[in-house]
Amino acid sequence: MQVSRKILKGIAILLFIGFLLGGAGFVMLWNSLPLDVERVTHIEGSPALYDADGQLFHLRLSPDSEWQIPIHLKDMGKWLPRVAVAVEDGRFYSHPGVDLLALLRATAQNLTSGHIVSGASTLTSQLIRLAISEREPIPGSSGHTRRPRSLTTKAREFVLALKLERVLSKDEILEHYLNRAPFGGNIRGVQAASLIYFGKQASQISPGEACLLIGMLKGPTLYRPDTQPEAAKGRRDAIIRMMESKEVFTHNEAQRALLEGLPNRRTPPPFRAYHFAELVMEGRTQTEMGSGLRTTLRLDIQSRLESILRQAARELPTSITLAAGIVENRTANLVAWVGNARFGEGGTGQAGGALGGWVDCGRAPRSPGSTLKPFAYLSAVEQGYLTASSLLADTSIAFSGRAPRNFDLQYRGAVTARVALSESLNAPAVRVLRMAGPDRVLRLLRDAGLSHLTQPASYYGDSLILGGCEVTLLEELEAFTALASLGEHRPLSLLRGPIPPKSRIASEAGCWLICDILNHKGPLALLTRGTLGQKWQAALKTGTSYGLRDAWTAAWTPDFTTVVWVGAPEGESWPGLVGARAAAPVALRILRAVSPHSTWYGRPGGLVLRQVCTLSGRTPTAACPTTQLDWALEGVTRTTPCPLHTLKQGRSTILWPRELGASAPPSGSLLPRRSSLTITSPIAGATYITAPFDLQRKLPMRAEGAIERVWWYLDGRYIGTSLPNETFFHPVSDGTHIIGATDKEGRSTSTTVRVATPGRSEEPQPLR
């Protein structure tokens, strides 16, 4: 009896000493182990982009080459958190970070069996392991090496778990754990696991699917449903029955869960709208992207745009592609963007592609052709020089033979501003540019968002609104959105948020006049009225760059604006690259698809109807035989009397201005066919500007008045043949050259031209 008391006393002393030593060790660990909460709460997640409605459409690997999408606990649905707590840590909401009962049970089981058969990890200690132990560098090692699963490591984790419980709530700990939990391979977190295994978000997970995912935590590789279906099913079913026994599931919920099938393959993460994603991610930090970005993209509109461009691309040579964007005018939100319609063609992966398929053509600076003409007219309207009825001269007299010619190489004589702009005539556009002032027009273009126009107006000369500059599709979208918004300019938005502040670049009335001019029926004939509808209206402006390298169309309704570019990523020419033929039909299909019920603009304030001379568009005098009504800007449009009509012997006589000659041809008339062989392109004595990246530098050659065929010569060397009035393209190097032509009757002619690249000391004379 006395011996027994001594033994018990000795055991008590040993336990007391052990308790003291353990307590001292715990205090030492507590004081020596700082907790870096930031390492627990900060996750370098996968760059994730969501559309305007919150749907994930683009996901990339995290910096650790993992699929990981952190989300809030409230977004994990009903079942995943409940099943995780029930399976992994039943007393999670009652213990302080370490479950002493589980620790004593595990110790007894391990001592009895002689080896480790049970652990005592809590969700809190597992979070410490995932966030710290598996990622911190071990002294003496290089890089981040996983710590061995030893008693020392376990003790560190328990101490840090106790500390973590003092700074984070239970729900916060559970949220961070489920965002870091491994689910096989490089999948981390319940959101990524739900998307990859089930093709749905965590909030949509069923009870059976929740049990399958949580069951994988015991062995992410052992219980993967796509590679170990039998083991995964057995583990899942056991958890389902446990959930029923704990009354987490009802009997009916458990039975339905047991009948659910298992996924037999992993779903590829979403990888939509690649070039839009590149736009959004450029210049943003990993922290911004890893937390998920809510963008302005609308997947329904994006899908329609992709479909229309793919269909259009099938009708073009494989070397030619398309790019386009769509903007919501009210907010300036970029709602759809395709930088290259051939992205993904010919590749073996998600983003493989044909040559140049990865290139975002919408971000490359290119010649805009004639698309900028509306802004020159807008500037002239704003200064009171023009209305839609104003008379302009489409002739070359005032330019001493160096005037830009129209796309069809013909002049029309006297035309109204409405005709000149809607038919994109070049000579009147240059006259309007000079009338408005190149510096003022350039300032308007910059205010509208054309940031690549960095040179002074003298550098561009007359070519400023004829394609002798560089812009990007994104910039054109911003500029035409401002025009479509009747003068309200905002930078394009890529992320959801407050609508950016606006600035006014022109009056509503002035922009309305330009939109009214460009809302003409001619281009709409490119598509049948049955396709477009009888009442649907849209404005558009086409453009074709020099050498047929870029085809453009900007089109808009009061609701949406789109700009379409067609061309080769490398900048090569192709005879079909004409804005009205290659880009305009596509732009109208896009607008019709996204804005089918758009009404037209109401008439803004500041407009007034006035009587004008039918011919000159100016204030009529007693000599003007007829008048018509015309919209003008109240208090702005000048009231200059008609200069064309005068009374001679009591009869009205027309005094044509010098640029129209002694007598002008009727509006819309064409020049007669030449009776002699004449080279109409290239223009004699002109300088042709080529793009620095254009290695071929092809010039368009065209002759009028030829009999049957034209034979072409470059500096006396034969280079090819063409039909009469057919444009012939041939590479011409920098320098001064003699272009010669001969027809079947032996008639010959020649012209001298110069070819130059931008940046040379001698400033070239623009042609278009």
**pLDDT for 251:** 95
702 assigned to some structural domain:
yes
Average pLDDT over residues 397-402: 46
Q: Residues 6 or more apart from 476 whose CB is under 8 A from it?
A: 368, 371, 450, 552, 554, 563
**pLDDT for 707:** 78
Between 708 and 437, the more confident residue is: 437
Cβ atoms of residues 506 and 410 within 8 Å: no
- Strand pairing class (187-188; 67-68): parallel
> Long-range contact list for 118-123, CB < 8 A, 24+ apart?
121/89, 121/157, 122/89, 122/92, 122/95, 122/97, 122/98, 122/161, 123/84, 123/85, 123/88, 123/89, 123/92, 123/173, 123/174, 123/177
Cβ atoms of residues 466 and 429 within 8 Å: yes
At 205, list the tokens.
């997970």
Q: Which of 267, 255, 189, 188 is nearest to 225 (CA)?
A: 267
* Domain count of the fold of the chain: 4
**pLDDT for 718:** 77
Between 541 and 21, the more confident residue is: 541
Q: Which of 68, 71, 69, 493 is nearest to 295 (CA)?
A: 493
3-state secondary structure of 124: helix
Q: Which of 399, 473, 469 is nearest to 689 (CA)?
A: 469
Cβ atoms of residues 681 and 732 within 8 Å: no
| 416/419 Cα distance (integer angstroms) | 5
Query: Which residue type occupies 268?
Result: P
Residues 383 and 448 in one domain: yes
| 292/303 Cα distance (integer angstroms) | 22
Burial label, 2 (beta-carbon count in 10 A; 0-12, 13-18, 19+): exposed
Residues 8 and 84 in one domain: no
Average pLDDT over residues 186-209: 96
Q: What residue numbers bound the domain in which 206 lies?
A: 33-259
**pLDDT for 711:** 82
Please count the CA atoms within 13 angstroms of the CA of 238 that sit on its side-chain side.
12
**pLDDT for 346:** 56
| 275/295 Cα distance (integer angstroms) | 13
547 assigned to some structural domain:
no
| 214/240 Cα distance (integer angstroms) | 11
Average pLDDT over residues 440-455: 97
Per-residue pLDDT for 674 more than 60?
Answer: no
637 assigned to some structural domain:
no
Residues 18 and 96 in one domain: no
**pLDDT for 134:** 83
Residues 13 and 80 in one domain: no
Residues 116 and 46 in one domain: yes
Residues 82 and 18 in one domain: no
Residues 18 and 39 in one domain: no
Residues in the chain: 768
Range name among 317-331, 336-350, 600-614, 754-768 with the lowest pLDDT average? 754-768
Per-residue pLDDT for 670 more than 50?
Answer: no
Average pLDDT over residues 52-71: 94
602 assigned to some structural domain:
no
Beta bridge partners of 49: 58, 293
Between 297 and 646, the more confident residue is: 297
Last residue of a domain, one of 211, 243, 259: 259
665 assigned to some structural domain:
no
| Host H or E run for residue 499 | none
**pLDDT for 717:** 77
CATH number, position 103: 1.10.3810.10
Residues 60 and 14 in one domain: no
**pLDDT for 31:** 58
Residues 183 and 74 in one domain: yes
Last residue of a domain, one of 259, 285, 301: 259
At 716, list the tokens.
């006396």
**pLDDT for 750:** 83
Range name among 282-291, 297-306, 493-502 with the lowest pLDDT average? 282-291
pLDDT band (50, 70, 90) for residue 661:
low
**pLDDT for 347:** 44
CATH number, position 413: 3.40.710.10
Between 511 and 462, the more confident residue is: 511
Q: Residues 6 or more apart from 33 whose CB is under 8 A from it?
A: 156, 159, 160, 163
Q: Residues 6 or more apart from 294 whose CB is under 8 A from it?
A: 50, 52, 54, 495, 496
Average pLDDT over residues 15-38: 65
9 assigned to some structural domain:
yes
CATH number, position 745: 2.60.40.10
Last residue of a domain, one of 480, 497, 530: 530
Residues 383 and 488 in one domain: yes
522 assigned to some structural domain:
yes
Cβ atoms of residues 595 and 539 within 8 Å: no
Residues 692 and 703 in one domain: yes
To the nearest whole number, what is the mean pLDDT of the chain? 85
pLDDT digits (tens, 9 = 90+) for 360-395: 999 999 999 999 999 999 999 999 999 999 999 888
3-state secondary structure of 342: coil
pLDDT digits (tens, 9 = 90+) for 133-182: 887 665 555 555 555 566 777 888 888 989 999 999 999 999 999 999 99
Range name among 51-60, 74-83, 748-757 with the lowest pLDDT average? 748-757
pLDDT digits (tens, 9 = 90+) for 320-367: 999 999 999 999 999 999 999 999 875 433 434 445 678 899 999 999
**pLDDT for 401:** 41
Residues 515 and 399 in one domain: yes
pLDDT digits (tens, 9 = 90+) for 229-277: 999 999 999 999 999 999 999 999 999 999 999 999 999 999 999 999 9
| 11/528 Cα distance (integer angstroms) | 100
Cβ atoms of residues 371 and 561 within 8 Å: no
327 assigned to some structural domain:
no
pLDDT band (50, 70, 90) for residue 81:
very high
